[in-house]
Chains A and B, each alone.
Chain A
Amino acid sequence: GDSVTQMEGPVTLSEEAFLTINCTYTATGYPSLFWYVQYPGEGLQLLLKATKADDKGSNKGFEATYRKETTSFHLEKGSVQVSDSAVYFCALAPGGYNKLIFGAGTRLAVHP
């Protein structure tokens, strides 16, 4: 069945460092891909999305490109801030459906 694999955390970075969180997926058809963020004590917020191959989603300095050839959707940010500390979830929605399949989540801790 469809699935999402994320790099294990926690990821610990210093402020202004470059961030990459790897995400790969297995799916039949053409899924939509998402990154959600969960700040401490809060619910899920949509960070960015891409609905077809080669699309780049971006928001708040984060970006991810839908790579069909490598079945990947890696999250990147050029310069992280302490306020980016959160858990990041990669997810896919199988083509034509709105229910989401989530990865395990990656905890990011950014230190001053």
Chain B
Amino acid sequence: SAVISQKPSRDICQRGTSLTIQCQVDSQVTMMFWYRQQPGQSLTLIATANQGSEATYESGFVIDKFPISRPNLTFSTLTVSNMSPEDSSIYLCSAAAGSGNTIYFGEGSWLTVV
């Protein structure tokens, strides 16, 4: 299995500011992902964080709004830029690890934009 730690776990942010979320995995993994869960909704994939190259974004998400870094095989960051109240969500980091490439999630970063 893999243990995924995210920081911060919760934050209240002012609109117009940016916040960087960190994701640390306790083992080396090939693939890491970032998801968003808006209040009362399901999860939507934002992007795949690629080690050593630019992230691959899903439709509706752009690098300027959600820049992602992946400097090594155990760590990634997601920045939510120029936040508005619509960005209030849970942001979850995910990684594929272990036998059968099981997909694990961090506990999420709960952001409220005021």
Contacts and interface: CB of A to CB of B under 8 A. Distances in A.
Contacts of B41: 104-105
Contacts of A101: 45
A69 interface: no
B103 interface: yes
A51 B103 CA distance: 12
A44 interface: yes
Given A44-B105, A89-B43, A100-B94, A51 B33 contact: no
B53 interface: no
Nearest to A36: B105
Nearest to B94: A100
A73 interface: no
Interface in B22-39: 31, 33, 35
Interface in A1-38: 34, 36
Interface string B87-114: 0001010101000111111111000000
Interface in A71-112: 89, 93, 98-105
A28 B104 CA distance: 24
B90 to A, nearest CB: 8
Interface residues of A, number: 19
B42 A104 contact: yes
A50 to B, nearest CB: 11
B48 interface: yes
Closest 3 CB pairs of A and B: A43-B107, A98-B96, A44-B105
Given A43-B92, A102-B44, 16 more contacts: A34-B103, A42-B107, A43-B105, A43-B106, A44-B105, A46-B102, A46-B104, A49-B102, A89-B42, A98-B33, A99-B48, A100-B35, A100-B43, A100-B45, A100-B103, A105-B41
Interface of B: 31, 33, 35, 41-45, 48, 90, 92, 94, 96, 100-108
16 contacts: A34-B103, A36-B105, A43-B90, A44-B105, A44-B108, A45-B105, A46-B102, A49-B100, A51-B100, A93-B103, A98-B101, A99-B33, A100-B45, A100-B94, A104-B42, A105-B42
